[in-house]
Amino acid sequence: MGGKDLFSQWQSTIEMDPIADTLNNAERKILLSLKGEEDVEDIARRLGYGELVEAMSPISWLSRKGLVEIKERVEYAYSLTERGEKVLKRGLPEAQALDLVKGGIAITEFRDELGKDASIAIGWLKNEGCEIEGGKFIVDEAKICDLRERVSQELEALGNPDEGAYELLGGRGLVRKRAKSQRRVALTEMGERLVKELGKEREKKRREEINQLTPEIIKSGEWRKLKFRSYDVKAHVPTPRMGKRHLLTLLIDQVRDAFLKMGFTEIRGDYVVSSFWDMDVLFIPQDHPARDLQDTFYVDRSFDLDSELLHKVKRIHEDGGDTGSDGWGYSWSEEEAKKALLRTHTTIETIRYLSNHPKGPVKIFSVDKIFRKEAIDSKHLPEFNQIEGVVMEKHADFRELLGVFKQFYSYMGFEVRFRPSYFPYTEPSLEIQIQKDGEWIELGGSGIFRPEVLAPFGIKENVLAWGLGLERLGMIVYDLKDIRGLYTNDVDELQSFPLRR
Ligand code: PHE
């Protein structure tokens, strides 16, 4: 005897009456209406349910009672992203590039024609083996033809987004793929038997289950006699689309919470500041590469500087002043220091705060925007956030500094390790790393402020300081490969992120 026979033998011994008793109206209605295998959406539509969930709940119950079987299948839907739609309309930038190359265009002209896409296009062409000589592309008809063919195939794929198109163009963010689960429902053997029996005794009176407990039922004492439906916590229901905070806001809140719990106070500051405060006060020499135009956004204005402080800082840069340091040994320029820029780190807020509170203890932090002239790619943004902090107190030491990070990152759910590093304003300096999938990722810098930084303000105590990347941390927390994912405004994508505790 096969297993199935045994099973159906056993099934046929099950009494139908008690099961029939457990059915409520909706379950009965669905059970009796089922014909063969049917999609849940079709059932809902056929029976006039306004929402799928109204049908799904009784169907789940029927399945738990062994009367129907729910077969789940995941299907994928493909569509063009907003960028994909644009490209479909205007053509792929590669096609335009190839047309230009065909005419043996000069690189400079090529750049003018393609504007901001030019660098990417040149990279692509070189990668594909197109050579440049004497500032011009070398025309290789056969190769251009081949590439043209490939590009037009890609464009064709874009016109008909499917798995193939997704594999080809999904990585470029032109095609998106979404999973949609399909549920089909069919009567089980037991279900079929029950349907037959119910048919026979349609007219028989049955005891109904109560869905809802009302104040009346309680007051009248009727509840004693009634039969209540139990909850099915495993029932299929759609995820409600409620409003929630943006993932970056959630992360910032969590960071803030961590530092507040550790007894820190939050500060904020301006975006446009003087080079003097952003760099010179922090003993960053005026020929430091971070001050280059390519690295920093300068603003067309200048700042007046406090002349007493200016002279102290000038001396420290030039010969170390009274700090015992030799300084940098160059001639310091006031002009350079007056320049305005978009702050390149929030360490400026730290030093400004200390300048106003030269007597400890101080425990402050900030989570705020900074600006660096970076080309946007999967790991860089020109505008991002830094988690800054400082501790100034009598017994503050290196071990306390390490302790702050251990505590902070353990609150965020990570382990940390430290590596030696260098900053012009700290000694010792260290780099903080956390682990992800067995790999150590650099998250920021830290150290103890040098006397050259503290002397102008008469600060004698030890000052521990740090500046950590918020977006880097976000990529790890949310498991993102591309930093731009943190700034997405695609509502579907945002909904898919879990609410973190
Ligand atoms: N300002 C440094 C940065 O932007 C970080 C840092 C802050 C390092 C304070 C040491 C002390 O990377």
Give the pLDDT of residue 206.
53
CA-CA distance, 182 to 199, in Å (whole number)? 30
**What number is the average pLDDT over the span 291-296?**
86
Is pLDDT larger for residue 189 or for residue 134? 189
Ligand 1 contacts CB of residue 465 (under 6 A): yes
Indicate if the pLDDT at residue 13 is higher than 70. no
Ligand 1 atom 2 nearest Cα: 467
Say if CB 52 and CB 44 are below 8 A apart: yes
User: For residue 281, which of 260, 322, 307, 312 has the smallest C-alpha distance?
Assistant: 312
pLDDT (average), residues 347-363:
95
Q: Is 337 helix (H, G, I), strand (E, B) or coil?
A: helix
- Measured from the CB, is residue 296 less than 6 Å from ligand 1? no
Q: Is 161 in the pocket of ligand 1 (CB under 6 A)?
A: no
> Looking at the predicted structure, is the pLDDT value of residue 501 above 50?
no
Average pLDDT score over the chain: 88
Q: Between 433 and 213, where is the model more confident?
A: 433
Distance 467 CA to ligand 1 centre (A): 4
Give the residue-averaged pLDDT of 34-54. 88
Residue 184 · residue 73 · CB < 8 Å: yes
Beta carbons of 269 and 348 less than 8 angstroms apart: yes
Half-sphere exposure of 476 toward its Cβ, with a 13 Å CA cutoff? Answer: 20
Q: Averaged over 369-373, what is the pLDDT?
A: 96
How far is the centre of ligand 1, averaged over its atoms, from the C-alpha of 422 (Å)? 9
Residue 485, ligand 1, Cβ within 6 A: no
For ligand 1, is residue 389 a contact (CB within 6 Å)?
Answer: no
| 20 has a pLDDT exceeding 70 | yes
pLDDT at 360: 82
> Measured in angstroms, how far is the CA atom of residue 440 from the centroid of ligand 1?
19
Note the pLDDT of residue 12. 64
Which range has the worst mean pLDDT, 55-69, 135-149, 198-212, 307-321?
198-212
Q: Which atom of ligand 1 is nearest to the CA of 429?
A: 10
Nearest CA to ligand 1 atom 9: 466
Residue 2: pLDDT band with limits 50, 70, 90: very low
Give distance in angstroms: CA of 298 to centre of ligand 1: 20
- Could you tell me if residue 372 is left (phi over 0), alpha (psi between -120 and 50 degrees) or otherwise beta? beta
Residues 75-112: pLDDT tens digits?
Answer: 888 999 888 888 888 888 888 888 888 878 888 888 88
Instruction: Please report, rounded to a whole number, the percentage of residues in the chain having pLDDT higher than 90.
Output: 50
Cα of 91 vs centre of ligand 1, distance in Å, is 45
The mean pLDDT of 467-490, rounded to a whole number, is 91
Residue with tokens 């135009």: 293
**Residue 107's pLDDT is what?**
86
Q: What pLDDT score does 1 carry?
A: 43
State the average pLDDT over residues 308-330.
95
- Give the mutation target among 446, 453, 471 for probing the ligand 1 site: most ligand atoms within 8 A of CB: 446
Please tell me the distance from the alpha carbon of residue 174 to that of residue 118, in angstroms, as a whole number.
19
Q: Tell whether ligand 1 has an atom less than 6 A from the beta carbon of residue 445.
A: yes
